[in-house]
Amino acid sequence: MSTVCVHGLGYIGLPTAAVLADNGHEVFGYDTDQGVRDRVRNADVRIDEPGLDELLERAVESGRLTATDEIPEAQYHIICVPTPFDEETRRPGLEYVNASAEAIAPLLREGDTVILESTVPPGTTETHVRPALEASGLEAGVDFGLAHCPETVLPGNILVELRENDRIVGGIGPDSTAAAVELYDSFVAAAIRTTQDPTTAEFVKLIQNTFRDVNIALANETARIAHDYDIDTREAIDLANGHPRVDLLSPGPGVGGHCLPIDPWFLGVGSDSMDLIPTARKVNDGMSEFVVDLVRDLVGDLDGTKIAVLGAAYKGNVDDTRKSPGVAFARELRRGSEVPPPATDGGSPNGPIVAVHDPHVDDASIELTDTGAASIELVDLETATTDADAVVITTDHDEFAELDPRTLRDRMSTPNVVDTKGILQLQRWRDAGFSTRRI
């Protein structure tokens, strides 16, 4: 068993630290945010992630996971800090990665190993982390280990995937790789696959998410084409997927989260060869506009109407609203509507009233108030749907699949529904008097 310091206690660092502790390691969790450290000390989880509460409680109570204000010496340092995306330059900020490496350098001892898990452009471990650590006077691959091992877990299923997903490890020299593999081997049940350098490992992570993004774009474009032919996309995709070499993904209102909409751009940091990938991004981002057109098909002119958007989380059964397609769609509905309509008179000629509801998301965690969005509110289901002219499902939460169309119909001004996730049994809704559209 080893001493491990996990740097950054967010979506990835916190579950990783807890799993390591649960597997017998002595784990220190370091985060620059005092609030985060205090919450970990109290085993207080703010992420909607199955099983994490109990695991964290166990790790903290056993004394094997300690949130710390000062970075300790440790046999392993795992860096799980964010690489925030700059929308204008389409590049990641590496300041947190750099700061972690600089903070580790003075504590680094011969034989220790540093592992970068944060998603970064290819080459970052070599060009940023390595020089910062070598300021210690020690040499990577000789005196200490340095490797990249990208995280690949799916939000909503993190604890299962931490143990059951294959891992890719690319170290500087064979000793770095071996040291990192030894640590992951202590809790990963799947294969740990190695490559000879960190840059390949960084690249692999990015092409995995790019594969998903580009293939979802194909599904989304297929949906738009099917719409022009008045064909039910999901039925067509289902039939097409009966072929042994065809596996189209699911269309929807766009692609959200902190990975798929962002990671493809990281590939372009050191390459001018991207052509298809940016086009796929454009297709996925354009889905908000397509959904607005579907609503117009049903409702006509949107001025003075009320639209209930069901789903602010970026995907089903999670509370994460980062780059959420539901939020993008709500904003798209309000685009160009500079003046907020009065809330009481059923609207004005200044665009629709947009009411967003999400049972997994609370008020504090969502920003709906920027340009043109002043009249978008996050409200309960009854408030959102009362007097609405259309309900639009933008997230595949279980709660939405179980909605009762008759209850909604009785509250709404006009019974229209758009299902962008294909989760409703639309015949039931039609039987209840709804006009329907779906992607």
Rounded to whole angstroms, how far apart are CA atoms 439 and 421?
7
* C-beta of residue 215 within 8 angstroms of C-beta of residue 252: no
Q: Which of 5, 80, 149, 259 is catalytic?
A: 259
* C-beta of residue 4 within 8 angstroms of C-beta of residue 115: no
CA atoms within 13 A on the CB side of 162: 26
Q: Does 255 bind ligand SAJ (CB under 6 A)?
A: yes
Number of shown-chain residues binding ligand SAJ (CB under 6 A): 21
In the complex, minimum distance from the CB of residue 153 to ligand SAJ, in angstroms, rounded to a whole number: 5
Choices 20-28, 76-84, 121-129, 255-263; region in contact with ligand SAJ by CB under 6 A: 255-263
Dig out the tokens for 120 from the structure.
Answer: 């970064």
DSSP per-residue string spanning 217-286: HHHHHHHHHHHHTT--HHHHHHHHTTSTT-------S---SSSTTTHHHHHGGG-S--SHHHHHHHHHHT
Closer residue to ligand SAJ in complex, CB, 179/249? 249
Closer residue to ligand SAJ in complex, CB, 75/152? 152
Q: By C-alpha distance, which of 337, 339, 328 is closest to 301?
A: 337
DSSP secondary structure letter of residue 342 = P
In the complex, minimum distance from the CB of residue 140 to ligand SAJ, in angstroms, rounded to a whole number: 25
Rounded to whole angstroms, how far apart are CA atoms 237 and 51?
34
Q: By C-alpha distance, which of 298, 302, 355 is closest to 326?
A: 355
DSSP secondary structure letter of residue 33 = -
User: Of residues 252, 264, 311, 351, which one binds ligand SAJ by CB under 6 A?
Assistant: 252
In the complex, minimum distance from the CB of residue 49 to ligand SAJ, in angstroms, rounded to a whole number: 12
DSSP 3-state of 317: coil
Closer residue to ligand SAJ in complex, CB, 15/325? 325
In the complex, minimum distance from the CB of residue 211 to ligand SAJ, in angstroms, rounded to a whole number: 7
Triad 335, 214, 157: Cα angle to 5°:
90
Q: Does 257 bind ligand SAJ (CB under 6 A)?
A: yes
Residues between 285 and 344 with contacts to ligand SAJ, criterion CB under 6 A: 314-315, 325
Site string for ligand SAJ, 258-287 (x = CB under 6 A): -xx---------------------------
Closer residue to ligand SAJ in complex, CB, 311/351? 311
Site string for ligand SAJ, 123-152 (x = CB under 6 A): ----------------------------xx
The 3-class SS string of 406-419 reads HHHHHHCCCCEEEE
Rounded to whole angstroms, how far apart are CA atoms 19 and 200?
26
CA atoms within 13 A on the CB side of 41: 11
In the complex, minimum distance from the CB of residue 155 to ligand SAJ, in angstroms, rounded to a whole number: 5
User: Of residues 153, 168, 180, 226, which one binds ligand SAJ by CB under 6 A?
Assistant: 153
Closer residue to ligand SAJ in complex, CB, 49/112? 49
Residues between 210 and 249 with contacts to ligand SAJ, criterion CB under 6 A: 212, 216, 249
In the complex, minimum distance from the CB of residue 256 to ligand SAJ, in angstroms, rounded to a whole number: 4
Closer residue to ligand SAJ in complex, CB, 102/285? 285
Choices 57-65, 132-140, 251-259, 381-389; region in contact with ligand SAJ by CB under 6 A: 251-259
Amino acid letter at 255? V
Instruction: Respond yes or no: is residue 259 known to be catalytic.
Output: yes
Sequence-ordered list of residues with C-beta below 8 angstroms from that of 187, at least 6 positions apart, any chain:
19, 20, 22, 23, 162, 163
DSSP 3-state of 378: strand
In the complex, minimum distance from the CB of residue 360 to ligand SAJ, in angstroms, rounded to a whole number: 14
Q: Does 30 bind ligand SAJ (CB under 6 A)?
A: no
Helix or strand (DSSP H, E) at 92: strand 91-92
Residue given tokens 């299923």 in the structure block? 157
Choices 18-26, 93-101, 179-187, 254-262; region in contact with ligand SAJ by CB under 6 A: 254-262
Site string for ligand SAJ, 183-212 (x = CB under 6 A): -------------------------xx--x
Q: Which of 5, 205, 306, 421 is catalytic?
A: 205
Dig out the tokens for 321 from the structure.
Answer: 């609203």
Catalytic residue ranges = 205, 259
Q: Using CB under 6 A, list all residues that contact ligand SAJ.
A: 119, 151-155, 208-209, 212, 216, 249-250, 252, 255-257, 259-260, 314-315, 325
